[in-house]
Amino acid sequence: MFKEYFTIGELSELFNINTQTLRYYDTIGLFSPRKRDDVTGYRYYQFNQLYELASIRYLRRLDYSISNIDSYMKARKVDFVLDKFKEQSKVLHDKWDDLMRIDNVIQRKISFIEDELPKVKFEDFEIRNYQDRKYIPIGSEEQLYKSDIFYFYPTIAIYKNDIKSFGAYLIETKCEEVVVGKKVELSSEICAVIKSGNFLCGYHKGPYSNIENTMNSMYAKFKNLNLAKETINFNIVDQFVESDVENYITAIQIRIED
């Protein structure tokens, strides 16, 4: 048989809940002891309070907020509870869908890096043919860090006429599936396309501050090719996966015009 009263330590051990959490529940009036020693200030919880704490712990496991738990505990009736459970089930399903979309993006970014790294050959250049590739334009560097998609997708830097702009490479992703924050918000109307064609390809290792040296050397070395005055750079190893800027790796591609 359980005894009639429990200390906060005993309740903590019984439910595997931190004593600080129980004190916090008491402070906000969510779950308070039935008795308190006037001299020591010790809290004593009555046996029948175990069911109340079990309900609170259960709701926390269902990802209810503290404020929602307080409302729930004060209005517990079967019909009310079932409605709230249905609402919470929808919330959890939505969160699951969001997480799976984000994980899908992460997996594609992993694949992009793993696919690109074996192709890296510094000092060597080659001509490659690419089909249409989609990306989301972000804009200038001032706009870059405010954009959620910058943090989810490989970055493209486009140099043209002394202007640098950025985009998010979609890696075979449909534009309608693009994750921004917690929702699929972008439509195909926002997508831009790097048109198919032949590209002179090379790689730059190191900080972005001197990447133009590598770009200029490609133009100088291949004067015989009709190279576009637009350079498209794909960040392969960047600040998200490498702390040392000297180890950054960027793929440089310059269209060969007909």
Q: Are residues 11 and 58 in the same domain?
A: yes
**Region 147-151: what's the mean pLDDT?**
79
Residues 222 and 130 in one domain: yes
Radius of gyration of the chain (CA): 29
Is 150 in the same domain as 34?
no
The dihedral sign for the CA sequence 13, 18, 21, 26: positive
Residues 210, 149 share a domain: yes
Confidence check: pLDDT of 156 > 90:
yes
Q: Of 31 and 58, which is predicted with more confidence?
A: 31
Position 90 in a domain: no
Backbone angles phi, psi at 179, to 5 degrees: -95, 125
DSSP readout, 118-146? GG--TT--EEEEE--EEEEEEESHHHHTT
Indicate whether 155 and 220 sit together in one domain.
Answer: yes
List, as one string, the DSSP characters of 160-222.
ETTEEEEEEE-TT--GGG-EETTEE---GGG-EEE--EEEEEEEEES-GGGHHHHHHHHHHHT
In a domain, 107, yes or no: no
Same domain, yes or no: 124 and 45: no
> Residue range 20-45: average pLDDT?
91
Q: Is residue 38 very low, low, confident or very high in pLDDT (cuts 50, 70, 90)?
A: confident
Q: How does pLDDT run across 129-138, given as a tens digit for each residue?
A: 999 999 989 9
Does residue 134 fall inside a structural domain? yes
* Predicted pLDDT at 191: 83
CA 92 to chain CA mean position, Å: 18
Would residue 100 count as lying in a domain? Answer: no
Give tens-digit pLDDT for 164-189.
999 999 876 566 555 554 444 444 45
Q: The tokens of 83 are what? A: 């409605």
Q: Same domain, yes or no, for 68 and 9? A: yes
For residues 175 and 71, membership in a common domain is answered with no
- Report residue 97's pLDDT band, with 50, 70 and 90 as the boundaries: confident
CATH number at residue 48: 1.10.1660.10
| Residue 156 and residue 35 share a domain | no
Q: What is the total count of domains within the chain?
A: 2
Could you tell me the pTM of the whole model? 0.65
- CATH code: domain of residue 220: 3.20.80.10
pLDDT per position as a tens digit, 203-257: 999 999 999 999 999 999 999 999 999 999 999 999 888 899 999 999 999 999 9
Q: Residue 31 belongs to what domain range?
A: 5-76
Please report whether residue 144 resides in a domain: yes
Strand ranges (E), 8-151: 35-36, 43-46, 126-130, 133-139
Residues 164 and 39 in one domain: no
Question: Does a structural domain hold residue 98?
Answer: no
